[in-house]
Structure 1
Amino acid sequence: MAHVTVEWSANLASDFDLGALLRLIAETMRERADGTFPVGGIRVRGLRTDSYVIADGANPNDGFIDLRVLMGAGRSAEFRRSFFDSLFAEVRDHLGDLFDRRPVALSMYVEEAEGWKHNSIHRRLATTKAI
C-alpha cells in the first residue's frame, strides 16, 4: 500500500499540469521502488483546495502544493530516506520554474499506517500479466 494525496491551492490551477504530476508520482512508485510498493496498492490523487490562508494572507499569489504519503509499515529507514528524497526532488524538478514565477510552498510528509484493506485489483493485475 502506498497512497499519495497531492493537495494544492486553487490559485495554481493554470500554473502546473496536475495530471502529469500525478502520473509522475505513480510511475516513480511503480518503477523506481524495486517492488516495495505493490502496483495494485498504489493510489495517487489530487485534491484542489479552494479555501485557505497562506503565510500572512497578504499575497493572493502565494500558493502551495502538499504531498501526503500514507504507506504500510515495514520499509527500512534507508529506503524511506533514499526513495522519498528522490521523489521530492523529481516533483520539485517537474514543477520547473513555477517557484520563480510566483511564491509557492512545496511540502511532502510520509506516514506509516496500520489499516484494513480489501482489493481485487491485485487479481486483475495478475490476470493481465498472464496474457
Structure 2
Amino acid sequence: MPHLVILYTPNIEGETDMSALCRTLADCMLAQRDDEGRQVYPTGGTRVLAYPAAHYAVADGKADYAFVYLNVRMGSGRSAAVQKRIGDALLAATKAHFAPVFDARAIGITLQIDESPGQVYDGKHSNLHPLFNKA
C-alpha cells in the first residue's frame, strides 16, 4: 500500500489522458514527505489505477455530466497534518489535470483518503520493493 484508485465516467475519455493522470498522481504521491522530510510512500508500493464505470448515473441525468472519484488507501501511522498535505497536493494535481475539461463541461471531482487501521489480513507478494530499496 498505498493505492490510489480512480473511478470515472467514461464520457470524459476523449477529453483527457487518464494514463497521464495516473502518472502525475503517482509522481505526486512519491514526492510527499513527512514532518521529518522522509518519503511518505514507498516507491515500490505506490500504485495508481483508473477504471471507467461500465454503468453510471450522475445527478439528474438531463445532461452528459461527468464524475471522477479518487480514493487513496494507506496504512495507519501518518499524522493528520501529513494526511491533509497529501490530500491537498493530490487534489491540486487532479484539478490542474482536469482544468481544460472543467472549463468545457459539468464534472464533479471527489478525492478521499482512507486509513486502514486494524487490518485483519494484509498479505503481499512482490519483487518490486527490492528494486528501490538499494542502500
TM-score (norm 1): 0.89
Of all paired residues, the percent bearing the same amino acid is 31
Q: Does 1:99 align with 2:106?
A: no
Moved over 6 A (4+): none
Q: CA deviation at 1:119?
A: 2.6
Match for residue 41 of structure 1 among 45, 54, 64: 45
Letter in 2 for 1:40: G
- Give the aligned length: 127
* Cross-structure match for 1:82: 85
* Cross-structure match for 1:16: 16
Q: CA deviation at 1:94?
A: 1.6
Deviations 1:3-28 (A, max 9, x none): 00111101111011101100000001
- Give, in whole Å, the separation in 2 of the partners of 1:26 and 1:67: 12
TM-score (norm 2): 0.87
Gaps (5+ residues) in structure 1?
none
Deviations 1:44-93 (A, max 9, x none): 1110112000011221x100111011100111000001121121011101
- Give, in whole Å, the separation in 2 of the partners of 1:37 and 1:43: 10
Letter in 2 for 1:69: V
Q: Does 1:27 align with 2:27?
A: yes
Q: Does 1:53 align with 2:57?
A: yes
- Give, in whole Å, the separation in 1 of the partners of 2:80 and 2:126: 27
Q: CA deviation at 1:101?
A: 0.4
RMSD: 1.5
- Give, in whole Å, the separation in 2 of the partners of 1:91 and 1:25: 8
Gaps (5+ residues) in structure 2?
none
- Give, in whole Å, the separation in 1 of the partners of 2:114 and 2:126: 21
